[in-house]
Amino acid sequence: MTTPLLASTRRVFELTLGQMLWARRTTLLALAAAAPVLLALVTRLTLSAGSAVVQINGRQIGSEAVFNTAMTLLYLRFIVPAIGVFYGTSLIADEVEDRTITYLFVRPIPRGAIVLGKYLAYVLCVTAVVVPSAAVVFVVMVPFPDMAPLFGSFVRGLGVLALGLAAYGAVFLWAGTLFRRPLVGGLVFVFGWEQLAAVLPGYVGRLTIAHYLQADTISVAVLLAATVAALWLAMRTIERREYLLER
Amino acid sequence: MIVSTDHLSKWYGQVSGLNDVTIAVPRGVTGLLGPNGAGKSTFMKLVTGQLRPSAGTLRVFDEPIWGNPSQYRRLGFCPEQDAFYEHMTGRDWVQALAGLHGMDDAAAAAAATRALATVDLLDVADRKIGGYSKGMRQRVKLAQAMVHDPELLVLDEPLSGMDPLMRRRTIRLIRQWADGGKSVIVSSHVLHEIEAMTATIVLMHNGRIVAEGDVHQIRALIDAHPHRVSIRAADPRALAKRLLVDDDVSSFRFEGDALLVETGNPDSFYSRLTEIAASGDAGSIEEVTSPDDNLQAVFSYLVKQ
């Protein structure tokens, strides 16, 4: 008898959370989360001092617009995909590369639990850092009287961030079960293909995750479907694949 | 029989890792002996369900093991690779892996403590694995393999890198494990290590089983070839001086902080080395390894027969 999927998933989840705290990538995550906050603070202080104004095409723009721009350009186009690639690809591939996956494979658990446990730890870890970071940027950038009317779209924006982290993480976790070194391919996908597809005419843009995270084309259903499909494929791959650990 | 194979083969692309192996491994301790590349690790990875057979059948406890994780309740595996979650303490690591056997937190903690005590690691259990010596790392690997009290232990080169005293303790531990009615499949490329654990051996070479049965039959062949040992010690010169007192050392040379010794009588030599390590007269002995070229010579000879 194997340990049930949920119980096994919980154990792998706990183990992975501990590992993530010590991973080198955590430094990257902390930097990624801190950079927009610092940027927001600098912008806020500059605007308050009246020494400069943010202008686009000669028009002065408000702090709300600056916040929205930060959400789109910094978080959705850079931080979320970058974290998805760096963390997602590492979840399984690093264990294979480090040859520690053996210790998980020789336990009476469904291999799929390794995928699920690691994925849930990833989602919790990165969401717990990125979402508060965006919240702080909001508080810093948007004047207090403007917060109430913008609160709905702010919460929606945080939800989109969480969905993006979930979708990118799942897709690149799957890549990590397939390839020994998936990081380069992942970077090419998010910073090459996704950027290129965004400017190509027609339906090509729909073959990206970024397309479904944009305000005008957002689709929660597609993002959730992509996440579930990628997780299912990752579980199926790890159940069936032999991992030859190089010396 | 605890493990049985029928025309079992494993290929890595065009390369053969194991070739048409038919064997029945009995209960008790069975030693797999062969030089590097003989197919020992491939056989162990197949037996532990990490690899899927390319051809033939493999049964562990009379059931297939590939894609059958419930088998791991009865089986523990100590891999050869020196790979760990370095930031974790020995206790946390073994306990976390015990938890994957369905134990609750208290049971996993108790099982981890028991396993770490068995391998004499309790005193450093709360230190990070990254700070462990090679011998401690080998032992914590053993602890994770036995934490769920399996019926079968599969140990891939478990004595590699251990100092003489720890080798002796680990050999005793493996024998005691088997005395409790359990089984062990253990690999090594050093005959005297296997011989100290069991008389039942399987000789492997180039992915095939060359011979199986009683160890004494090949003893004479092995002894006919000089045996080379590399010893990493705090004071190699003092150690060389002590070793040269007896005539079981035919030659030696220094290589950095290691002493390379050639002996025609491995039994006597290892026994003396353990005594010297225990006395501490020649400083600490950190690691003893045996290159497998001496065994390779014997296998080449056997294959030619």
| pLDDT at residue number B218 | 67
Based on the domain organization, do B216 and B249 belong to the same domain?
no
The pLDDT-based confidence of A219 (bands split at 50, 70, 90) is: confident
Residues B298 and B156 in one domain: no
Rounded to a whole number, what is the distance in Å from the CA of B107 to chain A's nearest CA? 14
Band (A176; pLDDT cuts 50, 70, 90): very high
Which domain-ending residue is among B163, B189, B220? B220
Same domain, B82 and B148: yes
pLDDT at A10 over 80: yes
B263–chain A nearest CA distance, Å = 30
Interface check A52 vs B, CB under 8 A:
no
Considering the domain architecture, whether residues B164 and B234 belong to the same structural domain is answered as: no
pLDDT over threshold 70, residue A29: yes
Of A5-19, A49-63, A118-132, B7-21, the one with minimum mean pLDDT is A49-63
Nearest to B7 by CA among B27, B23, B25, B21: B21
pLDDT recorded at residue B90: 97
Using a CB-CB cut-off of 8 Å, the residues of chain A touching B88 are 18
The pLDDT tens digits for A70-81 are 788 888 989 999
- To test the contact with chain B by mutation, choose from A107, A114, A115, A246 the residue with the greatest count of B C-beta atoms within 10 A, namely A107
Q: Give pLDDT, residue B63.
A: 95
Kindly determine whether residue A19 and residue B97, on different chains, have CB atoms separated by under 8 Å. Answer: no
Structural domain that includes position B120: 3-220
Q: Give the count of Cβ contacts less than 8 A between chain A and B.
A: 76
Using CB atoms, pick whichever of A1, A22, A107 lies closest to residue B100: A107
- Return the CATH number at B249: 3.30.70.100
B216 and B274 assigned to the same domain: no
- Smallest Cβ–Cβ distance between B69 and the set A7, A100, A109 belongs to A109
Of residues B12, B72, B144, nearest to A108 (C-beta): B72
Instruction: List the single residue in A7, A18, A104 with the smallest CB-CB distance to B88.
Output: A18
Return the pLDDT at B302: 65
CB contacts of A245 in chain B (<8 Å) are: 81
Highest mean pLDDT pick, A104-108, A194-198, A204-208: A104-108
Give CA–CA dist B130/A98, Å, rounded: 14
Question: Do both B103 and B214 map to the same domain?
Answer: yes
| Mean local confidence (pLDDT), A164-191 | 94
Say if residues B233 and B257 touch (Cβ distance below 8 Å): yes
> Between chains, do B85 and A11 touch, taking CB under 8 Å as contact?
no
Structure confidence at residue B221 (pLDDT): 62
- A144 close to B (CB below 8 A): no
- Check B144 against A103: CB less than 8 A apart: yes
pLDDT of residue A82: 93
CA distance B216 to chain A (A): 33
Q: Report ipTM (2 d.p.).
A: 0.86
- Which of B100, B144, B147, B153 is the best substitution to test chain A (most A C-beta atoms within 10 A)? B100
Same domain for B117 and B214? yes
Last residue of a domain, one of B190, B220, B250: B220
How many CB atoms sit inside 10 A of residue B187's CB? 25
Are B184 and B281 part of one and the same domain? no
Q: pLDDT tens digit string along B110-164?
A: 999 999 999 999 999 999 999 999 889 999 999 999 999 999 999 999 998 788 8
Cα A57 to chain centroid distance, Å, stands at 32
- Test A244 with B48 for CB contact under 8 angstroms: no
Q: Which of residues 200-229 of A touch B (CB under 8 A)?
A: none
Residue B82 near residue B135, CB atoms below 8 Å = no
Q: What's the domain count of chain B? A: 2
Q: What is the largest CA-CA distance in chain B?
A: 57
R_g of chain A computed on alpha carbons? 20
| Residue B126 neighbours by CB under 8 Å, 6+ apart | B89, B90, B91
Band the pLDDT of A142: cuts 50, 70, 90.
confident
The per-residue pLDDT for B247 is 81
Select the more confidently predicted residue: B183 or A62: B183
Cα–Cα distance, A46 to A99 (Å, whole number): 50
Q: Which regions of chain B are under pLDDT 70?
A: 216-225, 291-305
Give the C-alpha separation, B132 to B138, whole Å.
9
pLDDT given for residue B300 in this prediction: 65
Q: Residue B79: its chain A contacts at CB < 8 A?
A: 99, 102-103
Burial of A221 (0-12, 13-18, 19+ CB in 10 A): exposed
B83–A108 C-beta distance less than 8 A: no
Partner residue facing A100 (CB), from B52, B73, B84? B84
Partner B contacted by A242 (CB < 8 A) = yes
Clarify whether residues B168 and B127 are in a common domain: yes
B135 plus B176 within the same structural domain: yes
Q: Is A239 on the interface with B (CB under 8 A)?
A: yes
Here the CATH number for the domain that contains residue B50 is 3.40.50.300
Q: For B101, which of A3, A14, A239 is closest by C-beta distance?
A: A3
Residue B259 · residue B133 · CB < 8 Å: no
Whole-number pLDDT of residue A41: 87
**A107 to B69: CB separation less than 8 angstroms, yes or no:** yes
Q: What is the pLDDT of residue B272?
A: 87
Q: Which of B67, B72, B83 sits opposite A107 (nearest CB)?
A: B72
Q: What is the pLDDT of residues A30-61, one digit of tens each?
A: 888 888 899 888 877 877 665 545 666 666 66
Residue A146 in contact with residue A64, Cβ under 8 Å? Answer: yes
pLDDT at A119: 97
Interface check A161 vs B, CB under 8 A = no
Of B220, B243, B259, the residue at which a domain comes to its end is: B220
- Indicate whether B36 and B138 sit together in one domain: yes
User: Is B151 found in the same domain as B86?
Assistant: yes
Q: Single out the residue of B257, B157, B68 nearest to residue A107, CA to CA.
A: B68
Q: What is the pLDDT of residue A53?
A: 53
